[in-house]
Amino acid sequence: MNTKRSVINNFLWRFMERCGAQGVSLVVSVVLGRLLGPTVYGTVALVTVFMIIMQVFVDSGMGNALIQKKDADDLDFSSVFWLNLFMCSLLYLIMFLCAPLIAAFYDMPELTPVVRVLGLMLIISGVKNVQQAYVSKHMMFKVFFFSTLGGTITAAFVGIIMAYMGCGVWALVTQMLVNTAADTAILWLTVKWRPKRAFSAERLKGLFSYGWKLLVSAILDTAYNQLRQLIIGKLYTKADLAYYNQGDRFPHFIVTNVNSSIDSVLLPTMSNAQDNPAVVRNMTRRAIKTSTYIIMPFMMGLAVCAEPIVRLLLKEEWLPCVPFLRIFCFTYAFYPIHTANLNAIKAMGRSDLFLILEIIKKVVGLAAILSTMWISVMAIAYSLFATSIISQIVNAAPNKKLLGYSYLSQLRDMLPQIGISLGMGAAVFSVQFLGLGDIVTLAIQIPLGVILYWTLSKLFHVESFTYVADTVKGYLNRSNAKEG
């Protein structure tokens, strides 16, 4: 199997896995949102802030180190597994003991048992983490499809049943816990790799020299991203936090499906070509152009159709999340430029540069948060959009020297996708002035957007359109020839 076919095949499996899992999760969140309301969602969001920060330590940067290391063997994987298991147990103990302090911080004593139960996800994730790195390293993304989808569907049934039974916040907690547990169990049943009774501090030292910089970078990034929610939960109401989070959910669903699929395949593929900067540059350029071509119209379409979508899916009580949803759409629309540049830097073994970039971005971001936190939740959201623009420039800067691919060159590669997305968005948005019902409005907007984007792509000879179409045709032809 040639490299291009292997990459496409693994991307498609990863994309289907993300679409399936996130699709089910989105449906479940809509159902639970209608059953439980913003206040319950806000309560779980308060705890999730700390869980997400703790989850960063589960990886310890070692997962990426295993993927990046060309000759990683069983001793490397086993050593990281036992270290992760120890670290996760220690982290859970910290969460367990700190639960009353977290509850006191929010002045909500009822959060203590929620923190302690939800914290069990850390130990389960520690068991799963190295298996995930093994799957990514060996480009076995078909396995992710079955494990993730199985866990998500199982958890969906449990969560919805508990919500109907009136379990409130525990419906969400149990759903999250079951999802991680089922996902891990299926992954262990389908992946043959098992940790050996072996441990090498020397191997860990080598991996840690690369991984610790990614760990610190991830801690900075996660703590920074969760800081906004932490501040909103402390200074404003649980409902405000729920609206902010729900505004993030829909665009995050789309971006996670496309961007994380590309991200998962891109790092191991680039790492294999790390000795050839020209090849890595071409991969980076292709990733930016193609993923932008896919993500940009989705984000534009969701932003202009936000109000009828929220009204139909989540009821009128969730309409305050619409402005946040639009801000997140415009922020996420440019995520491909972040993902491609950072993966190139990691693949080239420059985790030191990766860390420096994170420090610069977080200093700027922290200043933005501190200057807006006392104004309003909306001001906090706008600060995220502003700093994301600055982050694009920062993330792209090293690759001018490493790969000969500057930020201005990257913008030029993105301009055709941006232009036709704006044109499509303006036309689709105008439909709302007809004053039709939500269902009829969306029934016109969605096909109109698809037809316009396709037409504009052909009319202006957008290169990414041709590439995607040719790639899909080539893949289907080879698949048909193989079956024949």
The reply to whether 168 and 305 lie within a common domain is: no
Residue 19 sits in the same domain as residue 98: yes
Inside any domain, residue 271: yes
Task: Inform me whether the pLDDT recorded for 268 exceeds 60.
Answer: no
Q: Cα separation of 388 and 48, whole Å?
A: 23
13-37: average pLDDT: 64
What pLDDT sits at residue 61?
61
pLDDT at 465: 80
227 shares a domain with 135: no
**Does residue 207 lie in a domain region?**
no
Residues 238 and 193 both lie in one domain: no
- Round the average pLDDT of the chain to a whole number and report it: 79
Record the tokens describing residue 232, joined without a space.
């909103």
pLDDT tens sequence across 357-389: 888 888 888 899 899 989 998 999 899 888 988
Mean pLDDT of 92-107: 87
Is the same domain home to 468 and 344?
A: yes
Residues 6+ away with beta carbon under 8 Å from 477: none
Q: Are residues 179 and 309 in the same domain?
A: no
Establish if 455 belongs to a structural domain: yes
Query: Among the three residues 199, 229, 261, which one is the final residue of a domain in this structure?
Result: 199
State whether 181 and 227 are in the same domain: no
User: Six-digit token pair at 77?
Assistant: 């994987």
Can you give the pLDDT at residue 59? 58
pLDDT for 263 equals 55
Given phi > 0 = left and psi -120 to 50 = alpha, else beta, which region is 116?
alpha
Residue 424: pLDDT above 50?
yes
Residues 252 and 385 in one domain: yes
pLDDT number for residue 260: 62
Altogether, the residues listed in the chain come to a count of 484
pLDDT at 379: 92
- pLDDT band, residue 79 (cuts 50/70/90): confident
pLDDT value, residue 309: 86
In a domain, 318, yes or no: yes
174 inside domain: yes
Same domain? For 269 and 396 the reply is yes
206-249: pLDDT as tens digits: 777 776 777 777 777 777 777 888 888 888 887 888 888 888 87
* Mean pLDDT, residues 261-265: 56
Confidence at 17, pLDDT banded by 50, 70, 90: low
pLDDT of residue 448: 92
Q: Using an 8 Å Cβ cutoff, are 377 and 244 in contact?
A: yes
Q: pLDDT confidence of 479, banded at 50, 70, 90?
A: low
Average pLDDT over residues 179-199: 84
Is residue 204 situated within a structural domain? no
- The residue among 137, 165, 199 that closes a domain is 199
206 assigned to some structural domain: no
Q: Taking 60 as the threshold, does the pLDDT of residue 347 lie above it?
A: yes
Structure tokens at 278: 């020209």
Domain residue limits at 31: 1-199
Within this chain, do residues 37 and 182 fall inside the same structural domain, yes or no? yes
User: Do 278 and 392 reside in the same domain of the chain?
Assistant: yes
What pLDDT sits at residue 326?
Answer: 92
pLDDT in tens, 319-335: 888 899 999 998 888 88
pLDDT of 33 over the 70 cut: no
Count: domains in the chain: 2
Report pLDDT for 452. 92
Q: Which of 140, 169, 199 is the last residue of a domain?
A: 199
208 in a domain, yes or no?
A: no
* Whether residues 164 and 241 fall in one domain: no
pLDDT of residue 28: 67
Whether pLDDT at 471 is above 80 = no
